[in-house]
Amino acid sequence: MLGQRRKKTGVTQIALVGYTNAGKSTLLNRLTGADSLAENKLFATLDPLSRSLKLPGGEQVILTDTVGFIRQLPHHLVAAFRSTLEQVKEADLLLHVVDASHKEAEEQMKAVEKVLEELDAAHLPTLIVLNKADLQPELNVNLQGKEAISISAFCDDDLMRLKEKIAAMLSAETVTGTAEIPIHRGDLIAALYEAAEVCSSKAMDTKIRFEFRLSRKQLGKLPPALLQFARLSEEF
Ligand SMILES: Nc1nc2c(ncn2[C@@H]2O[C@H](COP(=O)(O)OP(=O)(O)OP(=O)(O)O)[C@@H](O)[C@H]2O)c(=O)[nH]1
Ligand SMILES: [Mg+2]
């Protein structure tokens, strides 16, 4: 939904998920800092857990904190948390924060993954943030080949590395392309606008030339007939 979301709000959404006490709120505060207070106020009226964050490449994203990923949450709390967690599946990228110093770090990760599955968010691009590296540099969790970064939320250099990694993952998730679509194929032009963010359009003789960008996951939503007229920045 990267393309759709960017089209609607112009801003990429990143959700902090993770077991209780992993350091999500600390990271939100440390990453966004006081300098974005003005913008934060704007979001605070909508959602007090969301703050804007500027990435090293200059892109402005919205970072959202979450709660409620605890294993065996009391039943009456599940429903209450579920509604706030629902927005997780709208995110373009998840930061799964893990307290890597905890002896049950792996179990906690699995509990969070289970909730993500229940929320239909397990397929989203995810960066595992192995937090609290200052407490235990030796990590004892099986990452199963997932993208991961080891940090301490209290270390400025680590926060910069984290922001660079986020920027790199977001750009890897984005595909750019051009398409020259015959003017009479209004159906394909509509489909392009539906799935992608159209950056420019130029009328040619019997065609219109579009420049567009969209997320990898939106690629599957482009009709095969449209792909015949398109050139992507990468082959898939
Ligand atoms: N040593 C160390 N402590 C950390 C680090 N990051 C967070 N903490 C501490 O871990 C505790 C929990 O941090 P929070 O940010 O409240 O954790 P959370 O994930 O938001 O927890 P919930 O809101 O309960 O889900 C706090 O005491 C933090 O100061 C870190 O990198 N190193
Ligand atoms: Mg918190």
pLDDT attached to residue 35? 43
pLDDT attached to residue 60? 84
Nearest CA to ligand 1 atom 24: 20
Which pairing describes strands 126-131 and 148-150: parallel, antiparallel, or unpaired?
parallel
CA of 147 relative to ligand 2 center, distance in Å: 23
Q: Which residues surround ligand 2, an ion (CB under 5 A)?
A: 24-25
Q: Are residues 144 and 42 in the same domain?
A: yes
The residue range of the domain holding 208 is 174-232
Distance CA 108, CA 104 (A): 6
Q: Are residues 93 and 201 in the same domain?
A: no
pLDDT attached to residue 36? 44
DSSP-derived secondary structure letter, 23: S
pLDDT attached to residue 223? 92
CA of 24 relative to ligand 1 center, distance in Å: 7
pLDDT attached to residue 134? 94
Which pairing describes strands 174-182 and 230-232: parallel, antiparallel, or unpaired?
antiparallel
Listed in order, strand segments (DSSP E) in 11-145 are 12-18, 50-54, 60-64, 93-99, 126-131
CA of 134 relative to ligand 2 center, distance in Å: 19
| Residue list, ligand 1 pocket, CB within 6 Å | 18, 20-26, 67, 131-132, 134-135, 152-154
Q: Are residues 149 and 184 in the same domain?
A: no
Q: Which of 152, 172, 192 is the last residue of a domain?
A: 172
Nearest CA to ligand 1 atom 14: 23
pLDDT attached to residue 135? 93
Q: Are residues 135 and 226 in the same domain?
A: no
- Residue-wise pLDDT tens digits, 199-216: 999 999 999 999 998 877
Q: Are residues 148 and 191 in the same domain?
A: no
Q: Are residues 94 and 203 in the same domain?
A: no
The per-residue b/e assignment along 112-135, b for 16 or more CB within 10 angstroms, e otherwise, is: bbebbeebebeebbbbbbbbbbee
Q: Are 184 and 201 in contact (CB under 8 A)?
A: no
Radius of gyration for the chain, computed over Cα atoms and rounded to the nearest angstrom: 20
Q: Based on the structure, what is the number of domains in the chain? A: 2
Q: Are residues 163 and 181 in the same domain?
A: no
- CATH number for the domain spanning 46: value is 3.40.50.300
- Residue-wise pLDDT tens digits, 163-198: 999 999 998 888 899 999 999 999 999 999 988 989
Q: Are residues 50 and 60 in the same domain?
A: yes
Nearest CA to ligand 1 atom 2: 132
Instruction: Write out residues in the chain with pLDDT < 70, as ranges.
Output: 1-10, 34-48, 137-140, 217, 234-236
Q: Which of 123, 150, 172 is the last residue of a domain?
A: 172
User: How far is the CA of 116 from the CAs of 29, 66, 68, 96, in angstroms?
Assistant: 23, 12, 11, 10
pLDDT attached to residue 142? 75
Ligand 1 site-directed mutation target among 17, 19, 20, 21, most atoms within 8 Å of CB: 21
